[in-house]
Chains A and B, each alone.
Chain A
Amino acid sequence: MVAGKPQYEDAPGDAVRQFITEYFRALGAGMGTEGQLLRVELTAEQLSVLEGRQPLHPAFQPPDQSGLTVIYLAFTEEAAQEDKRAELVCKGSYRLTQMLSSARRLGRFSRFTVCPAGCNASGDEVYKPYLLLHMVVTCEGRNGDERLYALGIDLTGGAICPGLAALLDSRTLVETPPRHCLPRQVDLEEAMDKACRYIAAVMAKEDDGWARESLLALEAERFLLHSYYAKNKIQMADHTGSDDHAGSDDHEGGDGHEGGESDDDSHDGGYRRRLMELEKLYRPRAVARPALCALVFVPVGDLQAGDLLPQANF
């Protein structure tokens, strides 16, 4: 396990169920159970939040007396089969994906203060600002995957604190900003830049088999493409003089070569185009996208906590 990477396991059914319950509670929706199903009552506005769209104009609302939309969620296949109204919610299911996107959208940016026992945000204690970033890194290539990195950046000096995310679970957090805070020296763009450098360093220690596999595929495809165009060019030169013109919708032209561009320029153009396509498809690369962000104020004295010790500057 690499530092800075939270230990997220494959979500078991219980984790999904717990998330869903908390999600609807946060949304303020009415919940109850009916047999094995979770019954959720949503107002038009709550439904629009869940579905990630603007609320409908009242005139477009369905003419339902209560104005509530009721959904029934099943957490096992058996439960879903038993009731026609049930929607199966499991990892990857449409409804869960909708909830996850909605939660990610609604909780994208936050600000909070770490208050250890005996501390008070509005007291005389001096706090240090950190940017807590959750970055999703997409490994693109022949077979891609996603990786999640959570890390803190000290906004007074730019040091990386990989353990900052752990504070979320272990410390008392309040939303009130502190009264005394050290001035920010690092701007947000710079902080993201530092985060990427750090992630690059972490990724360098991880297995890059996916990238090697992708490069091998790219090389094989490039070789095939190059030999095809090179040989075709020679054959084209041999066929000089044949009336090989494209343009008709359905009818053939002369008896020249098949399956290629008909003149020299488009031949080279075609080669370059195909090469670019291969590069885009197979060339391995990782793309980091900030997914969540929080401004965290930590009491200066609390920096001694082991997990918060800053790593090198990036």
Chain B
Amino acid sequence: MSVTVKVKDEEIVLPDKNEVPLRLFPITVPLLSFRYEDYFRPLPEEEFTPPWPVTEHFGLSLSLTAAREMLAHIEERRRSSLIWYRLACRALALSINKGGTDLLIIPNLADRWRRHGFIFYPRQLAVVRRVVHEMDGRAILADEVGLGKTIEAGMIIKEYMLRGLVRRVLILTPAGLCWQWYMELKEKFGIAAYLQRSEYDWERCDVLIAGLDTAKRRPHCDIICNLTYDLVVCDEAHKLKNSRTRNWQFVNKINKKRFLMLTATPVHNDLRELYNMITLLKPGWLGTYEQFVKRYVEDKRLPRETPELKKLLSQVMIRNRRGPHSVEFTRRHVHQVEVHLEQEESELYRSVSALWHLPAAPSAALFTLNPLTLVTLQRELCSSPMALTFTLKNILAQTRDPYLTSVLQKLLVQAESCPTCSKAERLVETLKKIGDQTLVFTEYRATQQYLCRRLEQEGFAVLAFDGSLSNSRKEWIKELFRTRGEVLVSTEAGGEGLNFQFACHIVNYDLPWNPMRIEQRIGRVHRLGQTRDVHIYNMKTLNTIEEYIIYLLHEKINMFNMVIGGLEGILPRLGGGAGFEKIVYDILSSSADQTEIRRRFEQLAEQFSALLSEERDKQQKMERWLTW
């Protein structure tokens, strides 16, 4: 019960005692203390005296920066008590890094990782040891997809930071992965990185994450090339495989002491790609290109002198693969959840499908409903009548044609009067059976909103996740889900780049037609760090186009049980480069009847399987000499 009080003729409502008190944040405090020149000031470089010779091999310099700081401290008479001075002496003795091969990250991160439920894999620690002690911080981390290259890179960055050898770090990554890098570094390593937003950031941030595409453009590239980085990390480094691209030329010009390149595919089509990457890392390691070809290349995909080449590669590249002796993922279990439409829904589906066979339109405007729109309407109805209603209203708002308006109006009335959503009811049953934290993925916001309401009615602790949320809000919701949530209903865009290893159940309430997006959905939970088997529930509305899609993806392609990786190479080559989603649309919109749809789907599945085995053969050939 809230209480209203009057203060100077103004009514203020006080919250109930049991409610969380409203806190007014004094946003003026940080704003008033903000100083433009502080914010944009570049990081000062440490200054040194000229060295005093110690032995013939090295000299000793005094850090003028540290000395000045100490003198300023003394001049300001910031004197400490004897107790603190004695403590400081002991602290200094305890904090001296005596070198050696022990990794400093292990004790430093142990507690943080234990709290977050992360674990150190011996394989990852071995990678850090090799990079730090044998490769001097210059390496290609080429683990297979999903084995945690980002974690390894984070561990290496942290190790160098703890050793005091690295201060200025630049992480170049595809723009879409910047936030993920930021969160990984913050959450797992306690590294306060910055996301690059303006051209001032290059000079003023110690650890900066930036998109490669932004960094290589002017004026950014000029600023970057004038700086010296202690460590540069390049994610998705296969983008540097061609030495004639701007990417390669730009990264080559960066002044860097140490360099990590992260890629799962160091070679895709040509050994030259590997040569170019290694040259970026260590020019001359494989000789000049002509020497390399002469000595090591049999065919552009086939090396000769393999043992010697392997030995050379092993000194600059680390590649771990999945398998019984390296990293084993938990298993995937796929469950089909069949949905029978109620009579009203079936009639509505028939009405939507009938749009394909409308009699000759009295006006040309009917053609605004192109096959793509018609298929979309069918897909939406398979998801929920609410998703259909939303789109119908949008189309109606843009349509001037009276005939089309009347047709769609009828459909809208029918959709709105649909009393139930069988699929949502089936979802409720499924979730009750699962009885554990579950991620539900849907393609449509309208469906998402409906599901949240419906599941709440059933007493589930539901959270919604979509692409409109800010990154910090996403993190907050993720944390709420981890600690208190039961069901997270997410759209495709919502879950991108976030990891939910703590859950092991996924419901594909409706399916995207792009296999990569399905893999991304599953990858949210089925990844390194998942300790339980993952259960995937596909909801299949019988006698609709959804049934075809499930038939194709599950029964013919076995998509849900496929190991991560490999798809990137295959999908663009399907149907003469048209892409999987487009082909499925074409088949559904241009086939005369169900028999033809099924026959063309069979053909597509065969083409897919052939490409997949070709890709695997190629990979196996490569792996034979890439792995040691």
Chain A residues 263-314 with CB under 8 Å of chain B are 270, 273-274, 276-277, 280-282, 284-294
Q: Are B110 and A88 in contact (CB under 8 A)?
A: yes
CB distance from B308 to the nearest CB of A (A): 16
- Chain B neighbourhood of A59, CB < 8 A: 23-26
- Chain B neighbourhood of A23, CB < 8 A: 87, 91
Q: Are A246 and B111 in contact (CB under 8 A)?
A: no
Is B403's CB within 8 Å of the partner chain A?
no
- Chain B neighbourhood of A108, CB < 8 A: 70, 73, 78, 80, 88
Is A121's CB within 8 Å of the partner chain B?
no
Q: Are A211 and B55 in contact (CB under 8 A)?
A: yes
Q: Are A280 and B71 in contact (CB under 8 A)?
A: no
Q: Are A258 and B84 in contact (CB under 8 A)?
A: no
Answer whether A228 and B74 are a contact pair too, CB < 8 Å, given A63-B23, A168-B86, A211-B58: no
- Chain B neighbourhood of A290, CB < 8 A: 66-67, 70
Q: Are A249 and B247 in contact (CB under 8 A)?
A: yes
A294 (CB) vs chain B CBs: closest residue: B85
Binds B, one of A8-16, A39-47, A122-130, A154-162: A8-16
- Chain B neighbourhood of A252, CB < 8 A: 242, 244-245
How far apart are the CA atoms of A231 and B92 in the complex, in Å? Answer: 50
CB distance from A24 to the nearest CB of B (A): 11
Q: Are A285 and B94 in contact (CB under 8 A)?
A: no
Q: Are B88 and A106 in contact (CB under 8 A)?
A: yes
Answer whether A173 and B82 are a contact pair too, CB < 8 Å, given A11-B94, A290-B66: yes
CB distance from A195 to the nearest CB of B (A): 8
Is A260's CB within 8 Å of the partner chain B?
yes
Q: Are A175 and B92 in contact (CB under 8 A)?
A: no
B239 (CB) vs chain A CBs: closest residue: A250
CB distance from A265 to the nearest CB of B (A): 13
Answer whether A291 and B92 are a contact pair too, CB < 8 Å, given A146-B97, A260-B279: yes
Q: Are B85 and A88 in contact (CB under 8 A)?
A: no
- Chain A neighbourhood of B108, CB < 8 A: 92-94, 97
Q: Are A288 and B61 in contact (CB under 8 A)?
A: yes
CB distance from A57 to the nearest CB of B (A): 6
Is B121's CB within 8 Å of the partner chain A?
no
> CB within 8 A of A94: which of B53, B62, B111?
B111
Is A143's CB within 8 Å of the partner chain B?
yes
- Chain B neighbourhood of A57, CB < 8 A: 26, 29
* Total A-B pairs, Cβ < 8 A: 302
Is A78's CB within 8 Å of the partner chain B?
no
Q: Are B99 and A144 in contact (CB under 8 A)?
A: yes
Q: Are A200 and B92 in contact (CB under 8 A)?
A: no
B285 (CB) vs chain A CBs: closest residue: A224
Residue-wise, chain A 79-100 has the 8 Å CB interface mask toward B (1 for contact) of 0100000011011111111011
- Chain B neighbourhood of A16, CB < 8 A: 94
Q: Are A281 and B89 in contact (CB under 8 A)?
A: no
How far apart are the CA atoms of A11 and B95 in the complex, in Å? Answer: 10
How far apart are the CA atoms of A93 and B249 in the complex, in Å? Answer: 41
B109 (CB) vs chain A CBs: closest residue: A94
How far apart are the CA atoms of A246 and B54 in the complex, in Å? Answer: 46
Q: Are A106 and B26 in contact (CB under 8 A)?
A: no
- Chain A neighbourhood of B163, CB < 8 A: 144
CB distance from A104 to the nearest CB of B (A): 5
How far apart are the CA atoms of A140 and B258 in the complex, in Å? Answer: 14
Is A196's CB within 8 Å of the partner chain B?
yes
How far apart are the CA atoms of A147 and B95 in the complex, in Å? Answer: 10
Chain B residues 71-115 with CB under 8 Å of chain A are 71, 73-74, 78-100, 104, 106-112, 114
Residue-wise, chain B 2-39 has the 8 Å CB interface mask toward A (1 for contact) of 00000000000000000011011110010000000000
> CB within 8 A of A193: which of B62, B109, B287?
B62
CB distance from A98 to the nearest CB of B (A): 10
Q: Are A110 and B288 in contact (CB under 8 A)?
A: no
Residue-wise, chain A 198-226 has the 8 Å CB interface mask toward B (1 for contact) of 01100110001011100101000100110
Q: Are A231 and B91 in contact (CB under 8 A)?
A: no
Is B48's CB within 8 Å of the partner chain A?
yes
Q: Are B60 and A288 in contact (CB under 8 A)?
A: yes
Interface residue count on the A side (C-beta < 8 Å): 116
Is A182's CB within 8 Å of the partner chain B?
no
Chain A residues 137-153 with CB under 8 Å of chain B are 137-148, 150
CB distance from A163 to the nearest CB of B (A): 15
Is A112's CB within 8 Å of the partner chain B?
yes
> CB within 8 A of A87: which of B104, B111, B276?
B111
How far apart are the CA atoms of A137 and B249 in the complex, in Å? Answer: 38
How far apart are the CA atoms of A10 and B243 in the complex, in Å? Answer: 49
- Chain A neighbourhood of B244, CB < 8 A: 244-246, 248, 251-253, 262
How far apart are the CA atoms of A208 and B60 in the complex, in Å? Answer: 12
Q: Are B84 and A276 in contact (CB under 8 A)?
A: no
Q: Are A286 and B58 in contact (CB under 8 A)?
A: yes
A292 (CB) vs chain B CBs: closest residue: B88
How far apart are the CA atoms of A252 and B79 in the complex, in Å? Answer: 64
Chain A residues 46-103 with CB under 8 Å of chain B are 57, 59-60, 63, 80, 87-88, 90-97, 99-101, 103
Q: Are B110 and A281 in contact (CB under 8 A)?
A: no
How far apart are the CA atoms of A59 and B62 in the complex, in Å? Answer: 44
- Chain B neighbourhood of A249, CB < 8 A: 245-247
B292 (CB) vs chain A CBs: closest residue: A258
CB distance from B158 to the nearest CB of A (A): 11
Is A107's CB within 8 Å of the partner chain B?
yes
> CB within 8 A of B91: which of A99, A140, A175, A259?
A99
Residue-wise, chain A 224-253 has the 8 Å CB interface mask toward B (1 for contact) of 110111011001000000001111111111
CB distance from A283 to the nearest CB of B (A): 8
Residue-wise, chain A 1-40 has the 8 Å CB interface mask toward B (1 for contact) of 0000010101100011001001100100000000000000
Q: Are B87 and A136 in contact (CB under 8 A)?
A: no
Answer whether A232 and B288 are a contact pair too, CB < 8 Å, given A103-B90, A107-B89, A197-B52: yes
CB distance from A56 to the nearest CB of B (A): 10
> CB within 8 A of B79: which of A111, A146, A200, A280?
A111
Q: Are A231 and B291 in contact (CB under 8 A)?
A: yes
Q: Are B90 and A228 in contact (CB under 8 A)?
A: no
Is B540's CB within 8 Å of the partner chain A?
no
Offer 20 A-B interface pairs, CB within 8 angstroms, sorted by A.
A26-B84, A94-B112, A96-B94, A106-B88, A146-B96, A192-B67, A197-B52, A200-B54, A208-B57, A227-B284, A231-B288, A235-B290, A246-B248, A253-B244, A259-B288, A260-B289, A287-B48, A290-B67, A292-B92, A294-B85
Rank and list the top 10 A-B pairs by shortest CB-CB distance, nearest first.
A228-B284, A107-B88, A145-B99, A259-B279, A92-B107, A110-B85, A258-B289, A107-B84, A103-B91, A289-B66
6 extra interchain contacts, Cβ-Cβ under 8 A, other than A103-B88, A168-B89? Answer: A92-B106, A97-B108, A227-B284, A257-B290, A286-B60, A289-B67
Taking Cβ atoms with an 8 Å cutoff, the residues of B that contact A are 20-21, 23-26, 29, 48-49, 51-55, 57-63, 66-67, 70-71, 73-74, 78-100, 104, 106-112, 114, 133, 136-137, 162-165, 190, 228, 242-249, 252-253, 255-258, 272, 275-276, 279-280, 282-285, 287-291
